[in-house]
Amino acid sequence: MNILITSGGGAKGAFSVGALRQLLASTGIKSFDLISGTSTGALIAAMVAAGKIPEVTDIYLSNSNADILNKQNVINNILNNRAYLYDTAPLENQIRQQMNDTTWQTIRQSPTLLCLNTVCLQTGRLSIFSSRALAPDPHYDNIVIDSTEILVRSLLGSSNQAVFMPPVTINDRQYADGGNREVIPTRAVISNLSHQEAHRIFILSNNPDTQLTTGNAYTALLDVLMRAITIFIQEVRENDLEVLRNFKHTTTTPVKIYYICPEAELDPDFPTGLRFDKLLMQSWMKQGQLRAKIVLQQFPDGNM
């Protein structure tokens, strides 16, 4: 089986798209048996499952902040009990343009199992929306996507960073960014792998393997918040990767894991990935392509 895991990271998803394009060119893979994505990685995952590689490339090269977010008046939102800093109507419009009824039928009929990670605010649990039913697992709840509307809303929920963006209501529950529980979404993968065949797992992460160390004094409110988010993301990522390492070391199934990530933080000032700068994203896409080429050439049997 060929498995693709795409991480969260907002605009830094451009790195994953570059890596993905190189991966497909280098391996000759036409489709994946299972794709698991969180946040911006969920958007990439759905586009890959639908066979929309040129379209997802264009999205990450052409969008600016105004194409994704509407900045809100923070004081007005607090006074009016709006639990977010940005309105995501532009993002929702883009998702609806790409994930129409025809696209959903393509995904539904595909042999690819698509998994989109969210977190339910009511239960606090990892909640995975999937194109088919997943194997039961105590670590997550599974909701099977049964319509275009649920596909759209699960993608929006997976992508909407709590506080920065509004939670998304689906069937009377609210969902937020899956990165609160899994930045690199591994649980769905290890619970749904066949034990009768060999596997190649390709991980596309938009964050470096090593925590950024700084000499800064953090005094401003926003600076402290951003630094805290960076540390939080690193901790979640390390836990996600440890889950996958433990699986590889304990299973009798042959597993090759290819872990592709940037060598340094792509955007230190915006660790949440909420800076959609066209020139930066073009650079990140090129970095992703180069990094994937190096990993696939130097480590034909995997690097993790």
Q: Which residues are catalytic?
A: 39, 177
Give, rounded to a whole angstrom, the gap between the first and last alpha carbons of the chain: 17
CB 115 within 8 A of CB 188: yes
The closest of 89, 72, 90 to 81, measured between CA atoms, is 72
CA distances from 287 to 16, 30, 263, 264, 293 (A): 9, 22, 9, 11, 10
What gap in Å lies between CA 129 and CA 108, rounded to an integer? 13
Q: Find the largest Cα–Cα distance for the chain.
A: 57
Q: How many CA atoms lie within 13 A of 252 on its CB side?
A: 2
What gap in Å lies between CA 72 and CA 278, rounded to an integer? 22
Residue type, 302: G
CA 36, 291, 268, 168: dihedral to nearest 10 degrees?
-20
DSSP 162: B
CA 39, 220, 268, 70: dihedral to nearest 10 degrees?
40
Assigned token pair, 34:
């299972």
What gap in Å lies between CA 3 and CA 74, rounded to an integer? 41
